Structure formats: structure tokens, C-alpha cells
């Protein structure tokens, strides 16, 4: 029997009313576009939104062409593919992990169009009444996707006192824990001992760590783990999200992968065991048609020895940019985080300015675009982040530092304008 309703409208997900009015990067784009329209003669240096600027690696392009060529022949044409990814790419990911001393299985690997989608969609596997633990400051996607669902969110403070690497509090219970290392936006990276503490906490609380490892390729310190699965116990409590966006310049090409260990098993309310790996496979086969064969061929080329060498060359180029920015901050005595093992440089705003005030000042006076820390949470209110993905940041002339009482002194807008050609 149908239930009578007095209204004829569908019931909407009113959790969307709890979202912030504007997504951070949309607001940045709006302000930059407004400035550019009013100042068409000004050259804007974009060190804000983390988009890469170097072209794809030659081997990736060759792989893409091979994929396209396959589509031109009846014998090699590919239609719908496996939603979890082609075997050749899944095995390439397994081999890549093995090179870094981590053992995973091909059935643990799910190919996607990037880490952003999967970190947002993974919530489909977990009930609404789970308690979510998120560090502040944080990548906004973690927060917004859980606000959309209506989950309770607890925040743990990441600040200068703990080097923006918060540790678990045994007095707090959480079911889902978001960790990003190296971190977006702070650039901080956990060591093995710190990650082991989080794993122990998750196992004790029967929680799941949602581990964003999108920037692992930027780690240069051999003592820092490039995967949470390098730590004992992680396969029983963690899911790892990875991306080729920054590793291989795939921001526009779109490819990533998520590792869901088969050891990740929990009991349902009826006592039956449920495999998170099997749940994610069911979710993907229902809601996702898979990453294109062409893109996966390009991605597979990245995981070859020569392909990785080409990626490291591009990453090294970006890291030189980070060094230039870090050197300017160091010369000015500005406290900063990141810049090594990460593409992000996170620093305090000058002269007590808040981050949006400094954003406008920097744009209007130096034509430099960064990212206001306030967009990542309350602990970012007086911090600012710059990203190293700028083409040719090497100085073409001696860097001239402005007076120390200038608000631009923290970034040296003059230096950046001369450095970024």
C-alpha cells in the first residue's frame, strides 16, 4: 500500500545546506579571474591550485598512442573493460610497491580516475553513524564528503607545536580516520614510528584509516614510508589512495589507484563477516565503468624503469622550485613547513595578516597566487601555502629582497616575479 504524502516534491539531501558556501578552489579561481579581468596587462604567477605545468613524460605519451592505435583495429579494439582495472596495470602497481619494499596482491588494486574520486566515494562502504576523525587543517574533500553524508566529524589539531603531525588521542574514539602523508596542505610527512602509533590506535578502536598517499613520489628521505602498508598491522585497518596526477602529470589525463587489502574484514551487525575489498569491488562494478584502456596504457608505461626515471626528472624540476621558495622564506626568517618530501610549502602570514587578507595583498601587489590556509580549517587561519608546480622558477636575475617591514617580505614578491618566467 502506498503512503500518501501531502507534498509532491522529492526529499533532498539537506546535509548540503551544511556545506560551506563556496569550495576553496572555486573562490580562489573567482578572485583571480576578477583580478585578471581588471588588470589584463599583469602577468599572474600561479603557485596556488596544485596543477602541474610540465608536459607528460615521453613514455606515457607513447603508451597513450599505443592505446589509441589499438582502438583503430578490429583485432585489438577495446570496449568496456574490467571496472577494477586491466590486469597489466594492476600488476604494474604491485611491482611498483615491491620495489619500495611493500608486498600487496593484484586483487588489492583498484584502478580509478584519481584519488579525489575514491577518497570521496569510499564513504559508500560505511554507515552514516560512524564517527570521523579529521586533522585540521585538511584537504576539504575529506570534510565535505562526510558533511554531505551527515556524519559526525571530530577534528584533531595539527599545528606548529606538533609540526602539523597530530598523534592519536586515546581518550577519543573514531571509526574512520583520515591521514594524508605527505600532507596537503602542510607538506608534513609521518615517519614509521608515528604511523605505527596510528595503526595501533586504529586496531584498538576497530577503526579504518583512510590513507591518502597521493604525494608519495615526492618523498626523498629514505627513512620515511611511502606507503602505510610498509608498517606492520596496516593491512588489517587501512585503505590507501594513490594518484598519478602529481607523480606523472596526469591531472588532466586522470588515473589513480586505491589499495584495499583483502585482510580488511569486519563483522556486520548480524555477525557475518564482510570483506571491505569485496564491498569496494561491488561498489565499483555498480557505479563505475572503469578508467579508459587508453589512459591505462599510458599509466602502465609510467611504471616501467624508464618511465619512473622520466617522472623523477620532472619531480626533481618541481623540487628545485620548492627550494627557491624555501630559500626566500629562510632568508627572511619565516617559519615554514614542507618544501622537502612534499610539493607544498606552508608558512605563517606576515605582520599578523589572516590568510585571505594576505592572498589579496599578494595578488594585488606581486601578482602571485597562493592558497589561503583558512580554506583548510581554523588552524590554517594565519598560514599560507605555495605549491612548486610552476614552469621555470629559476631566477633570471639576482633576487632583490624588499624592505623587512614590507608584508611581501615573507614571500618576496619581487623575487618570485623575477624567479618565475
pLDDT of residue 5: 63
Angle between helix 58-70 and 293-302 (nearest 10): 150
Average pLDDT, the chain: 90
Residue 300 pLDDT grade (very low, low, confident, very high; cuts 50, 70, 90): very high
pLDDT of residue 400: 32
Buried b (16+ CB within 10 A) or exposed e, 67-100: beeeeeeeeeeeeeeebbbbeebbebbbebbeee
The least confident of 24-28, 107-111, 153-157, 195-199 is 24-28
Of 103 and 412, the one with more pLDDT: 103
pLDDT at 149 over 80: yes
Query: Where exactly are the structural domains of the chain?
Result: 18-55+307-419, 58-304
pLDDT at 6 over 70: no
Ramachandran angles phi, psi of 291, nearest 5° = -80, 145
Which fold does the domain 18-55+307-419 belong to in CATH? 3.90.1150
3 state DSSP class of 231: coil
Task: Kindly report whether the global pTM for this prediction surpasses the value 0.95.
Answer: no
User: Is 304 within 8 Å of 59 (Cβ atoms)?
Assistant: yes
In 10 A of CB 170, how many CB atoms? 9
Distances (CA, A) of 134 to 224, 228, 242, 321: 22, 17, 19, 30
pLDDT at 182 over 70: yes
What is the C-alpha to C-alpha distance for residues 322 and 325, in angstroms, rounded to an integer? 5
What is the C-alpha to C-alpha distance for residues 383 and 406, in angstroms, rounded to an integer? 17
244-264 pLDDT per residue, tens: 999 999 999 999 999 999 999
Query: Which is nearest to 345 in space by CA: 359, 327, 360, 357?
Result: 327
Q: Which CATH number fits domain 58-304: 3.90.1150.10, 3.40.710.10, 3.40.50.800, 3.40.640.10?
A: 3.40.640.10
pLDDT of residue 190: 98
Collect all residues with Cβ–Cβ distance below 8 Å to 5 and sequence separation of at least 6: none
pLDDT of residue 406: 39
Strand pairing report for 176-180 and 208-212: parallel
Hey, which residues does 153 pair with through a beta bridge?
Answer: 132
pLDDT at 417 over 80: no
pLDDT of residue 50: 74
Give the total residue count for the chain: 421
pLDDT at 403 over 50: no
262-284 pLDDT per residue, tens: 999 999 999 999 999 999 999 99
Amino acid at each position: 500500500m502506498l503512503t500518501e504524502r501531502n507534498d509532491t516534491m522529492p526529499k533532498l539531501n539537506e546535509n548540503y545546506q551544511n556545506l560551506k558556501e563556496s569550495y576553496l578552489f572555486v573562490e580562489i579561481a573567482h578572485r583571480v579571474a576578477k583580478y585578471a579581468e581588471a588588470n589584463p596587462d599583469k602577468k599572474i604567477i600561479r603557485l596556488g591550485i596544485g596543477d602541474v605545468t610540465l608536459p607528460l613524460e615521453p613514455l606515457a605519451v607513447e603508451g597513450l598512442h599505443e592505446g589509441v592505435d589499438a582502438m583503430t583495429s578490429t583485432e585489438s579494439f577495446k570496449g568496456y573493460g574490467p571496472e577494477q582495472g586491466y590486469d597489466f596495470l594492476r600488476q604494474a602497481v604491485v611491482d611498483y610497491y615491491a620495489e619500495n619494499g611493500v608486498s600487496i596482491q593484484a586483487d588489492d588494486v583498484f584502478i580509478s580516475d584519481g584519488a579525489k574520486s575514491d577518497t570521496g566515494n569510499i564513504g559508500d562502504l560505511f554507515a552514516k553513524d560512524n564517527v570521523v576523525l579529521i586533522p585540521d587543517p585538511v584537504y576539504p574533500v575529506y570534510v565535505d564528503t562526510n558533511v554531505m553524508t551527515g556524519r559526525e566529524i571530530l577534528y584533531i589539531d595539527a599545528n606548529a607545536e606538533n609540526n602539523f603531525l597530530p598523534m592519536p588521542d586515546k581518550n577519543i574514539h573514531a571509526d574512520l580516520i583520515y591521514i594524508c602523508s605527505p600532507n596537503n596542505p602542510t607538506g608534513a610527512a609521518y615517519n614509521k614510528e608515528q604511523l605505527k602509533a596510528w595503526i595501533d590506535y586504529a586496531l584498538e578502536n576497530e577503526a579504518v584509516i583512510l590513507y591518502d598517499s597521493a604525494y608519495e613520489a615526492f618523498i626523498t628521505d629514505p627513512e620515511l614510508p611511502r606507503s602505510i602498508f610498509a608498517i606492520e598491522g596496516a593491512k588489517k585497518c587501512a585503505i590507501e589512495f594513490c594518484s598519478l596526477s602529481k607523480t606523472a602529470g596526469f591531472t588532466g589525463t586522470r588515473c589513480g589507484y586505491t589499495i584495499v587489502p583483502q585482510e580488511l574484514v569486519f563483522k556486520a551487525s548480524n555477525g557475518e563477516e564482510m570483506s571491505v575489498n569485496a564491498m569496494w569491488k561491488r561498489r565499483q562494478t555498480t557505479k563505475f565503468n572503469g578508467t579508459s584502456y587508453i589512459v591505462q596504457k599510458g599509466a602502465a608505461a609510467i611504471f616501467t624503469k624508464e618511465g619512473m626515471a622520466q617522472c623523477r626528472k620532472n619531480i626533481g624540476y618541481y623540487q628545485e622550485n620548492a627550494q627557491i621558495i624555501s630559500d626566500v622564506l629562510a632568508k627572511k626568517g619565516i617559519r615554514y613547513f614542507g618544501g622537502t618530501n612534499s610539493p607544498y610549502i606552508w608558512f605563517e602570514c606576515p605582520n599578523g595578516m589572516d590568510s585571505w587578507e594576505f592572498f589579496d595583498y599578494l595578488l594585488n601587489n606581486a601578482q602571485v597566487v597562493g592558497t589561503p590556509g583558512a580554506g583548510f580549517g581554523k588552524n590554517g587561519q594565519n598560514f599560507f601555502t605555495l605549491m612548486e608546480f610552476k614552469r621555470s622558477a629559476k631566477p633570471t636575475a639576482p633576487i632583490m629582497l624588499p624592505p623587512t617591514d614590507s608584508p611581501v617580505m615573507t614571500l618576496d614578491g619581487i623575487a618570485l616575479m623575477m624567479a618565475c618566467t
